[in-house]
Structure 1
Amino acid sequence: MTHGSTPTLAQLSGATEVTPELRRRLTDCWIAVTNAGGAAGFPFPPVRVDDVAPVTDGLVDRLHPQHCRLLTAGFDGVLAGWVVLNRDPFRLVGHWGTVNHLQTHPDFRGRGVGSALMRELRRIARDELGLEQLRLAARGGEGLEGFYSRLGWREVGRWPGALRLAPGDTRDEVLMLLDPL
């Protein structure tokens, strides 16, 4: 299968925009990423549809134009990856957003999908939501700090040993910030 060189990006801000087919594709991508060892929200592979579909449904049901956006990337109609941008509804922290679940399907790794999603997410946060900064938490020991730093993010802290993936495999949770947007 050949794919174009640049992924096509789409933004969704309401549950009605997500078709049943897209829900299935989001779930399938999440399963593939997790079972390939990706740090995208399910730390204990293997996972199955019964594990992931309800979480996907909950995420889709929370989509809202002002508070939660889903950004997808694809090649020729095939879902290659996705990410979620959340804005807290409380005014005290309404100027920043949180990035969750960035993932690239293993079949599309190394094609710039994650970078394209994060660049577009930054633009949406700044230009459409008026956010001033973004934050995320990444699993240490995966090389994610380098990926995010190449996109302008900086490490602002760690929770040492916060994540226990298995006996003898305890990782830091790395706190990262993108500021200014």
Structure 2
Amino acid sequence: MTLSFELDPAVSPALRDDVLALWADVSNAGGSVGFVPPVTAHDIRPELVKHLVAMAEGRTRLLVGRDTTGAVVATAFLTHNTHRLMKHWVWLYTVMVHPRHQGKGYGRDLLAAAAEAADGLDGVEAIRLTCRGGLGLERFYGSCGYKEVGRVPGAIRVAPGDDRDDIFMLLPLA
């Protein structure tokens, strides 16, 4: 099964609920998307609202991956820089693939679709993202062409006594 990707889908209550459910499922499976389990869609809603506001303001773009049934099974947010000296790259945030689809290559497909979307943006030459240390995510992103360009030790406090590195990754588009 392959995914179909859509950049900037129309935001509807159904899409919002699908993204919330995906985000909760990914978080509760231990995914590194800003929350730690247990978490509910209600807990995540305020963060999604921030993303939706940024989308409405034109600062953020949503990339959605759907399976053959039309279900949202992957997402990523591309965020433009507002600093005039950093407009040549975008941030990639909240990169998610539903846990039941892990290991099927959908993460690679999502990152390829994000690179294609970013490459189509005027003046964008690279994508930056951060990932939480301790999960091997930097190896996955590295296998997709990203390079580690920085690391802040212990910057992410997952729980008391469980601090993780914040790892900065870069994908040049040219």
Same fold (TM over 0.5): yes
Measured after TM superposition, the shift of residue 71 of structure 1 is 0.4
Please, which runs of 5 or more residues in structure 1 have no aligned partner? none
- 1:19-46 CA-partner distances (Å, limit 9, x unpaired): 110100000000000011100111x321
Is residue 83–residue 101 contact of structure 1 (8 Å, CA) maintained in 2?
A: yes
Aligned residues: CA RMSD: 1.6
**Structure 2 residue aligned with 1:25:** 18
2:4 paired with 1:12: no
Measured in 1, the distance between the counterparts of 2:29 and 2:117 equals 29
Which one of 54, 58, 62 corresponds to residue 50 of structure 2? 58
Gaps of 5+ in 2: none
Q: 2:157 aligns with which of 156, 164, 180?
A: 164
- In 2, are the aligned partners of 1:68 and 1:84 still within 8 Å (CA)? yes
SS of 1:62's equivalent in the other structure is helix
Q: TM-score, normalised by structure 1?
A: 0.89
Shift of 1:53: 1.6
Instruction: Indicate if the aligned counterparts of 1:66 and 1:129 stay in contact, CA closer than 8 A.
Output: no
What code does the residue aligned with 1:61 have? V
Partners in 1 of 2:23 and 2:15 — Cα distance? 12
Q: Is the 8 A contact 2:119 2:173 kept in 1?
A: no
Match of 1:91 in 2: 84
1:62 shift after superposition: 1.4
Runs of 4+ in 1 over 6 A off after TM superposition: none
| Contact 2:133–2:167 under 8 Å retained in 1 | yes
Please report the TM-score for the alignment, with normalisation by the length of structure 2.
0.92
Deviation at 1:60, TM superposition (A): 1.6
SS, match of residue 82 in structure 1: strand
Q: Quick one: percent identity of the two aligned structures?
A: 37
- Is the 2:76–2:93 contact (alpha carbons within 8 Å) kept by the matching residues of 1? yes
Paired AA for residue 6 in structure 1: T
